[in-house]
Amino acid sequence: MKNWLDRYWNGRSAVIGAPYLWLLVFFLLPFLILIKYSVSEMDAVRPKDLLHFKDGLLQLTIKLSNYVFITQDDLYFKTYLASLKYAAATTFFCLLIGYPFAYFMARARSTVQPALLMLVMLPFWTSFLLRVYAWKGLLSTNGWVADLIIGSGLDQVLAALGVITAPGKLMNTPFSLVLGMTYTYLPFMILPLYGNLSKMDLRLLEAAQDLGATPWTAFWTVTVPLSKAGIIAGSMLVFIPCVGEYVIPELLGGPETLMTGRVMWDELFSNNDWPLASTLAVVMILLIIVPLALFNKYQAESQERRK
C-alpha cells in the first residue's frame, strides 16, 4: 500500500490530476449527458434510462426520432443553413478588413507597434455585451451610422442587395447582424494574422523584388501564402463561435435571421423540449467539427514550429 502511494501519489500526478479531473467532471461528463439526452425518451420530466433490465433481457433504447425530425423539418434545416451563411459572411468581412489591417500594423514602425496592438486589444477588454448594445443605438433611427448610411443613399444599395428589408430600416436585418458579428470578432482575426505577419522574414520580399516581381505580385505570391496559417487560425476563430452565436442575433438580428443558437435557446427555455435542444446542440457540434479539426491541426503545427 505504501509502495503504491509512493509511486502514484507524488507532486507530478497531483499537478496533472487536478485539472484533468476538473475537465473530466465539468467538460466530458456534461457532454456525454448532452448526447444521452438527445437520444432519450422523456418520462414526464426526466429522461428514461437508456438501459433497461426486464424479464432477463437487457434492453438498450436509443431514440433517434429527434435527429430524424430535425433533418425533415424545414425550419431547422434552414436555421442551420442560415447560421453557416452568416458565419461565413462574417468570416469573409473580418478577413477583408482584418488582413490589410494586420498587414499595415506589422509593417508600421516597430516603436508604434506595441501601442497599435494595445489599441486593438482594448475594446476586447471592455464588455462585449455593451459594445453589441452600442450598435443597436448606432443603427436605429437617428443613430450616427444609420444617419450616415441613409444620408449617403447606401441603404438603397443594401436594400437592392436584399440584406435589409426596406430602405431606411437597418436594425434587425441580416445587415445589422453581420455588421455586429464582424465588429465583435474582428480582433480575433487581426491578432493571429498580426502575430504571423510580424514574424515574416522581409528579405523574402526583397528577393522577390530583385527577381523582378512588382510589389503587388510579391504580395500575392510571397506574403499571402506565407501567412496561410494565420489566415486559417483567424478564420476559424471567427467562424466557429459565430455558428453558435446567441447574444448578437438576439440583440441585432430580426425575425428572418434565425440562427441555431437562438432556436436551441427557445426550444429549451420556451418549449421546455430538452431532448430536442440537446439534439440541436449535438448537430451544431457536428457542423463545426471539421473547421475545429482544421484549427487544431494548424495550431499544433505552429506550436511545433516554435520549439
From candidates 120, 163, 205, 229, binder to another protein by CB under 8 A: 120
DSSP symbol at 48? P
- Candidate list 59, 215, 221, 272; residue touching another protein; CB under 8 A: 215
Q: Pattern 14-53, binding to another protein, x per CB under 8 A?
A: -xx-xxx-xxx-xxxxxx-xx--x--------x-------
Q: Whose grid coordinates read 478588413?
A: 97
Q: Is 248 helix (H, G, I), strand (E, B) or coil?
A: helix
> CB neighbours (10 Å) of residue 154?
14
Angle between helices 260-269 and 74-107 (to 10 degrees): 130
Asked if 195 is part of the footprint of another protein (rule: CB under 8 A), the reply reads: no
State the nearest-atom distance from the C-beta of 93 to another protein, in Å: 11
Give phi and psi for 84, each to the nearest 5: -65, -40
Report how far residue 12's alpha carbon sits from residue 19's, in angstroms, rounded to the nearest whole number.
12
Q: State the number of binding residues for another protein (CB under 8 A).
A: 87
> CA nearest 77: which of 63, 88, 62, 67?
67
Look up residue 143 and give its DSSP letter.
-
204 is an interface residue for another protein by CB under 8 A: no
Site string for another protein, 149-168 (x = CB under 8 A): --------------------
Nearer to another protein, 45 or 211 (CB): 45
Q: In angstroms, what is the minimal distance from the CB of 100 to another protein?
A: 5
135 contacts another protein (rule: CB under 8 A): yes
Comparing CB distances to another protein, the nearer of 174 and 244 is 244
Which parts of 231-290 interact with another protein (CB under 8 A)? 236-237, 240-241, 243-247, 250-251, 261, 264-265, 268, 274, 277-278, 281, 284-285, 288
- The interface region with another protein, picked from 55-63, 66-74, 183-191, 196-204 by CB under 8 A, is 183-191
Question: Which residue is associated with the grid cell 482584418?
Answer: 98
Residues 15, 21: Cα–Cα separation, whole Å: 11
Q: Is the dihedral of CA 222, 226, 230, 231 positive or negative?
A: positive
Q: What is the 3-state secondary structure (H, E, C) of 147-174?
A: HHHHHCCHHHHHHHHCCCCCCCCCCCCH
Q: What is the DSSP letter of 59?
A: E
Site string for another protein, 77-96 (x = CB under 8 A): --------------------
CB of 87 to another protein, least distance (A): 10
Q: For residue 7, state whether it binds another protein (rule: CB under 8 A).
A: no
> If binding is defined by CB under 8 A, does position 229 make contact with another protein?
no
